[in-house]
Amino acid sequence: MRPPHDHAAALARLAGLLADPTRAAMCLALLDERAWTAGELARHTGVAPSTATEHLTRLVQGGLLTQHRQGRHRYVRLADPATAHLVESLAAHAAPAPNTAPATTLRRERADAALARARTCYDHLAGHLGCALTEAMTRQGLLAQDTGFALTRAGLAWFDEHGIALPRSGRRPLARSCLDWTERRPHLAGAAGAALCAWVLDSGWCRRVGSGRALQVTDQGRAALERLWDVHVPT
């Protein structure tokens, strides 16, 4: 067993990686599950390419990001779903109270509103949509939240009935709670959350807005969400 001070030092190193606003902004951007180039992240965070490279090197060496090169481009992404869960959870705890920091421009206000309505959190649904679906599944007896998140027998049958494949083995939890940073309540993560998100997107019920994390619920999706879960997504 490692001495307690070793764990404390490791935790301090991890916290230090996210203590810089630029590195934190990079990790938040990578919650869209895409691989970004160093140049894209430099433009997104408003820093010079050389500065972005220094930050990305620290994040890769610290284990929060993985990288691969293709031609002259360097692509980075979050290391794994557990890292995405960590970033989203920290963002939820660190986010300011609602309505205390209004957006400075109309464009920013609209972008923030779109993210709050529906978005992806790495590979699962988040925002109002993700939390509403989670609560609906719980009401319908598909998901249990009393001792952590777990799909019930009825929930497993529901996924099978709708042709949504779920891995029955592997290290990733089948269902896991993820604290939503805009709603301040949990949404469904884990393998089941990822499968549900993929199904909703493949069905055309949601479409991505631009290249970011925001999702737009289609008319077809609104009808399906109301029919299956009695979920109403604000426009």
The mean pLDDT of 162-180, rounded to a whole number, is: 88
| String of DSSP letters for the chain | ---HHHHHHHHHHHHHHHSSHHHHHHHHHGGG---EEHHHHHHHHT--HHHHHHHHHHHHHTTSEEEEEETTEEEEEES-HHHHHHHHHHHHHHSPPTTSS--SSHHHHHHHHHHHHSEEETTEEEHHHHHHHHHHHHHTTSEE-BTB-EE-HHHHHHHHHTT----SSSSS-SSEEEE-TTTSSEEEEHHHHHHHHHHHHHTTSEEE-TTSSBEEE-HHHHHHHHHHH------
- d(C-alpha 85, C-alpha 171), whole Å: 15
CB contact at 8 A, 191 and 167: yes
- Condensed to tens digits (0 to 9), the pLDDT of residues 56-98 reads 999 999 999 999 888 878 899 999 888 988 888 888 777 654 4
What tokens appear for 183 in the block?
Answer: 């709603």
Position 50 pLDDT exceeds 80: yes
Which of 208, 212, 215 shows the shortest CA–CA distance to 233? 215
- d(C-alpha 58, C-alpha 67), whole Å: 12
- What's the pLDDT at 102? 53
- d(C-alpha 157, C-alpha 178), whole Å: 23
Model confidence at 160, pLDDT cuts 50, 70, 90, reads: very high
Q: Is the pTM higher than 0.85?
A: no
The mean pLDDT of 36-54, rounded to a whole number, is: 93
Of 188 and 108, more confident: 188
- What's the pLDDT at 99? 47
What tokens appear for 106 in the block?
Answer: 């109309």
The mean pLDDT of 136-141, rounded to a whole number, is: 96
The mean pLDDT of 199-225, rounded to a whole number, is: 91
Model confidence at 171, pLDDT cuts 50, 70, 90, reads: confident
Q: Which fold has domain 4-79?
A: Arc Repressor Mutant, subunit A (1.10.10)
Residues of the chain with CATH 1.10.10.10: 4-79
